[in-house]
Amino acid sequence: MSLTRLLAACAILMFSVAASLAAPPRADIYVALGGNDANPGTAEAPLATIARARDLLRPRIAAGLNADLLVLIRGGTYRLEQPLVFGPEDSGSDHHSITYAAWPGEKVVLSGGRTISGWRRGTGPIWTVDLPAVKAGQWYFRQLFVDGHRAVRARTPNGPQWWKLQPRNNSDANDATVTLGVDHPIAAWKNIADVEAIWINNNDGTRARLGSVSAKDNTFTLPPPHGWPHSMTGEYNISFPSRDYACYFENALEMLDEPGEWYLDRQTGTLSYWPRPGEDLTRAEVVAPVLQKTLLALAGTPERPVRNLCFKGIHVAYVDRPLPAYGYPGQFGCLEIIEKSQPEPSKTFRFIEAAVSFRHARHCQFLDGGIAHAGAIGLSLLNGCADVVIEGNDIHELGGGGITLGAIRNRDTWKWADPLLRGEHRGYRIANNHIHDCGLDYFGSIGIFITLTQEAVVAHNLIHDVAYSGIVLSGNETPGTPFAKNNTVEYNDIYRVMKTAVDGAGIYVSFPQADRGALVRGNWIRDLRGNGPGSGGGIYLDGVRPELGCRGYRFEKNVVYRTANPLIFCQASTAGNTWQDNIFAVAPPPQPRLDQVAREAGLEPAYRQKLLGKP
């Protein structure tokens, strides 16, 4: 080694030693796994929980912020049994932000899960473990993960097969027991009240609990209450079971008959699992969720929204969604309609829960983190939100859709689901997220669902393996209220979506957009399987009703190929929209164009490295 190189090597070594001895990154509060909530929260004496850091900041926020505040969190898995909620008292101000960030270079996981150990092998291939908390009625879960991969709740027929519904004397009256048949022999399963029937109703799926099974008649019953909206018609009544709907059954010990399937007996507390090849339950990490519905919530109020709050490098994982008594009456995109007859007849149009939920949040951010292993939607930005950035996240293995943002209206009453506030549902940036393996339980799940927004930008996301559409952009459902306008969906990379439900697309747009309209540009859409008529579209324009046809969209430089239907129109047409330089083809385009779209669409280079580990 030459003297110069030796000196250079020494300089690097000294620099490394100096860096490791250097003062920690500056922060106002420090949190670490080995910390203690009785500590002051300094770098030398950190707190143990983020909740304690939040509470320590409250007096400083109440006194008025005169600087940005930073909470730094050392890497590791923080287990939560209660949701982490940030309200108005935890808010930044118009001029100063509050940031909760992972320590540079470290990964922070907020886990709602519990590790399950003590497995023993039975006489056959199935392993079991007894869970006293389940037997005692204190714990029940709907998902199970082995070494970070979701296992299959025991089902019949085994995936990916489906059977077909054969209606008998079904009535959609609110209080009626419905009797249905099926086109294959069914058995008399034990623990029948825990068994669920699942069927595909066009652009979503429905889940309903069984009341009884008759092997002799090959029928089963669904007891009330039912979730499908009895008093509504047409497009809203699609979740009601009909002839030849694709169906399967889930959650009985008798259905556990292949590797990867599991069953939890609520009465005995016994969890059973048939390991997949290569899995060793004496060493595998098996996790089931304890925390339900939402793990991280920004919950402002109309009068006092949460402002200027940022999360950076935070990963949310293992959140369950219990199934309500009425099941899940899927309407589209993880929406359901809840009908009540008391105190007066009413209908509520709402999304199922999200693991990360923002309500009444303004100028907030969720960056460079992730959401995984959740039972419902990954992240939602609903009423009262505006000017939120969601960027650089890995969002995957979800029962529901990836990201949902905007407002909803009831198309029968034309009313907003929530009162519309000044300046809300606008100014979003949803970019550079990797969204995949969504809709594992709720088959109307969408990668990114943008409904009734203004000035939203959805760009450079990588979306694949989704039960329903990749991106849905929904416009003005009432001709007289031109709210949705000036939205952009550009340079997204979308493939292998439309895996389960039908009547959707890589990018699905519906209803008009006002003012400058909506720009749909440079998106790369391919490899969509068709499940039925009208399914598996590249780009789909759906007006639903003739008077609401899609207008005000500009489609530019999109590349679509290997789809069942490259371009679909329903109560819509090319008229009223602008088309330039798009490719709608069966085969891939010539190589130069393919290279260009591959370069321009999907994650930007810095995020490719960060999220995929490659340039």
| Count of residues near Ca ion by CB under 5 A | 4
Task: Classify strands 145-146 and 286-289 as parallel, antiparallel or unpaired.
Answer: antiparallel
Phi-psi region of 86 (alpha: psi -120 to 50; beta: other; left: phi over 0): beta
Contacts of 19 (CB under 8 A, 6+ apart): none
- In the complex, minimum distance from the CB of residue 256 to Ca ion, in angstroms, rounded to a whole number: 6
- Report the residue number, 189 or 311, with the smaller CB distance to Ca ion: 189
- Please answer whether residues 159 and 152 qualify as being in contact, where contact means their C-beta atoms are separated by less than 8 angstroms: yes
Choose the binding region for Ca ion from 9-17, 24-32, 255-263, 602-610 (rule: CB under 5 A).
255-263
- In the complex, minimum distance from the CB of residue 156 to Ca ion, in angstroms, rounded to a whole number: 5
- Report the residue number, 274 or 318, with the smaller CB distance to Ca ion: 274
- Report the residue number, 90 or 250, with the smaller CB distance to Ca ion: 250
Q: Which of residues 153-212 bind Ca ion (CB under 5 A)?
A: 156, 158
- Report the residue number, 255 or 398, with the smaller CB distance to Ca ion: 255
- In the complex, minimum distance from the CB of residue 259 to Ca ion, in angstroms, rounded to a whole number: 10
End-to-end Cα distance, the chain: 34
DSSP characters over 558-581:
-EEEEESEEEEEES--STTSEEES
- Report the residue number, 257 or 604, with the smaller CB distance to Ca ion: 257
Q: Which of residues 105-164 bind Ca ion (CB under 5 A)?
A: 156, 158
- In the complex, minimum distance from the CB of residue 158 to Ca ion, in angstroms, rounded to a whole number: 4
- In the complex, minimum distance from the CB of residue 250 to Ca ion, in angstroms, rounded to a whole number: 9
- In the complex, minimum distance from the CB of residue 76 to Ca ion, in angstroms, rounded to a whole number: 37
**Distance of alpha carbon 525 from alpha carbon 267, whole angstroms:** 47
- Report the residue number, 126 or 299, with the smaller CB distance to Ca ion: 126
- In the complex, minimum distance from the CB of residue 531 to Ca ion, in angstroms, rounded to a whole number: 22
DSSP characters over 198-266:
EEEETTEEEEEE--EEETTTTEEEEPSP--S-TT--GGGGTTS--TT-EEEEE--GGG--STTEEEE-T
Q: Dihedral of CA 148/150/153/158: which sign?
A: negative
Q: Which of residues 505-564 bind Ca ion (CB under 5 A)?
A: none
- Report the residue number, 159 or 419, with the smaller CB distance to Ca ion: 159
- Report the residue number, 235 or 257, with the smaller CB distance to Ca ion: 257
**Distance of alpha carbon 245 from alpha carbon 243, whole angstroms:** 6
Tally the C-alpha atoms within 13 A of residue 416's C-alpha that lie toward its C-beta: 17
- Report the residue number, 164 or 562, with the smaller CB distance to Ca ion: 164
**Distance of alpha carbon 315 from alpha carbon 332, whole angstroms:** 27
- Please answer whether residues 393 and 317 qualify as being in contact, where contact means their C-beta atoms are separated by less than 8 angstroms: no
- Report the residue number, 172 or 257, with the smaller CB distance to Ca ion: 257
- Please answer whether residues 334 and 351 qualify as being in contact, where contact means their C-beta atoms are separated by less than 8 angstroms: yes
Binding mask 215-254 for Ca ion (x = CB under 5 A): ----------------------------------------
**Distance of alpha carbon 463 from alpha carbon 523, whole angstroms:** 11
- In the complex, minimum distance from the CB of residue 255 to Ca ion, in angstroms, rounded to a whole number: 4
Q: Which of 257, 455, 527, 556 binds Ca ion (CB under 5 A)?
A: 257
**Distance of alpha carbon 579 from alpha carbon 565, whole angstroms:** 18
- In the complex, minimum distance from the CB of residue 368 to Ca ion, in angstroms, rounded to a whole number: 39
Tokens for 611, please give them: 């999220």
**Distance of alpha carbon 267 from alpha carbon 301, whole angstroms:** 41
- Please answer whether residues 488 and 558 qualify as being in contact, where contact means their C-beta atoms are separated by less than 8 angstroms: no
Q: Which of residues 480-509 bind Ca ion (CB under 5 A)?
A: none
255 part of the interface to Ca ion, by CB under 5 A: yes
- In the complex, minimum distance from the CB of residue 583 to Ca ion, in angstroms, rounded to a whole number: 42
- In the complex, minimum distance from the CB of residue 157 to Ca ion, in angstroms, rounded to a whole number: 7
- Report the residue number, 250 or 391, with the smaller CB distance to Ca ion: 250
List % helix, strand, coil for the chain (3-state, nearest 5).
10, 40, 50
455 part of the interface to Ca ion, by CB under 5 A: no
55 part of the interface to Ca ion, by CB under 5 A: no
Tokens for 403, please give them: 């990201």
Residues engaged in binding Ca ion (CB under 5 A)? 156, 158, 255, 257
